Amino acid sequence: MNKIAFQGQAGAYSEQALRQHFGEKAEAVGFRRLAAVFGAVESGHVAQAIVPVENSSAGSIFETYDLLSEHKLTIVGEAYLGIKHCLLALAGATRGQLKKVYSHPQALQQCQGYLDKLGVETEPFFDTAGAAAWVAEKQDPALAAIAGKWAAKTYGLAVMAENIQTYAHNTTRFLILSKSPVKTPKGDCKTSILFEARHVPAALYKCLGGFATNGINLTKLESRPSQAGIGRYRFHLDCEGHVDEPALDQALRELQFYTTSLRVLGSYSQAKIPE
């Protein structure tokens, strides 16, 4: 089975990342909600999924982190995609006619500087490509969407403005998810871990100490509410190295002593960040 799930519909950035990572032969299966993507992998409806987890401008995608803790899936890879947002509208429409712009909340946030100058109303949509499809369906020159050139081509819209993101180096990191681990990755690796620290003084400091003493470089640390009560958090940690390497194995042994729960989400090959 070569079905790969993504959140959104045809023309979405997630589909573009999917094609970049898996190639054109993969069967892309889009879902409206991110939770449905996780469910499709867990049920075996698809072989794997690709989901966004963080953006260089807008930060972490909290829903992805929460779903990682709720579902028993394995991270088997990562991918990066340079995001170049465009303002899409009907052919012949002018900026003076625009009154409302639709897009995913993350895309709207990433283009806030441009939107402030444009001076129009914005409305969140479940997906960038879905917003483009909506504008194409409404056939109203007062409406526009923020999405990529791929979405413009898919839905027959005109590109009114290019590269409207606030920061030029706008990159999204994606995770590749599977029900089970894949073969041992080659080259430089990264490992993702989920843990909850014990409720004692300096617990987080002690949790991270083993990584420092064993020479393990941390690349990301994110906290999310554990739903166990106020002040209780889960921590998502990314670090360099493979779980089978002695140094990381020792760091995890030390981490376990200061946690109430610990789960390795996966070890996988590091992807190259686009320049």
Domain definitions of the chain by residue range? 3-82+170-178, 86-162, 189-267
Q: What is the pLDDT of residue 180?
A: 87
Buried b (16+ CB within 10 A) or exposed e, 201-216: eeeeebbbebbeebeb
Q: Which residues contact 193 (CB under 8 A, 6 or more apart)?
A: 236, 237, 238, 239, 252, 255, 262, 263, 264, 265
Which homologous superfamily is 3-82+170-178 in? Periplasmic binding protein-like II (3.40.190.10)
Whether residue 62 lies in the annotated active site: no
Residue of 91, 10, 79, 87 lying closest to 49 (CA atoms): 79
CB 6 within 8 A of CB 127: no
Residues of the chain with pLDDT under 70: 1
Catalytic entry in 6, 125, 174, 211: 174
Q: Is 174 a catalytic residue?
A: yes
Query: Which pLDDT value is given to residue 185?
Result: 73
pLDDT of residue 1: 63
Contact 146, 131 (CB under 8 A): yes
Own/partner contacts of 103-108, CB < 8 Å, gap of 24 or more, are: 103/128, 103/131, 103/145, 103/146, 103/147, 104/128, 104/131, 106/52, 106/55, 106/58, 106/61, 107/146, 107/147, 108/146
Q: How far is C-alpha 108 from the geometric centre of its chain's CA atoms?
A: 16
CATH for 86-162, among 3.40.50.300, 3.40.190.10, 3.20.20.70, 1.10.3720.10?
3.40.190.10
The model's pTM is 0.91
Topology alike, domains 3-82+170-178 and 189-267:
no
Active-site residue, selected from the candidate residues 64, 172, 191, 259: 172
* Residue 33 amino acid letter: R
Looking at residue 229, what is its pLDDT?
73
Among residues 115, 99, 98, 119, the alpha carbon closest in space to that of 107 is found at 115
Residue 25 tokens read as 């032969």
Residue pointed to by tokens 């939770």: 35
DSSP-derived 3-state class of residue 240: strand
Q: How far is CA 154 from the centre of its chain?
A: 22
Q: Is 121 exposed, middle or buried (0-12, 13-18, 19+ CB in 10 A)?
A: exposed
User: Could you tell me the fold of the domain covering 189-267?
Assistant: Alpha-Beta Plaits (3.30.70)
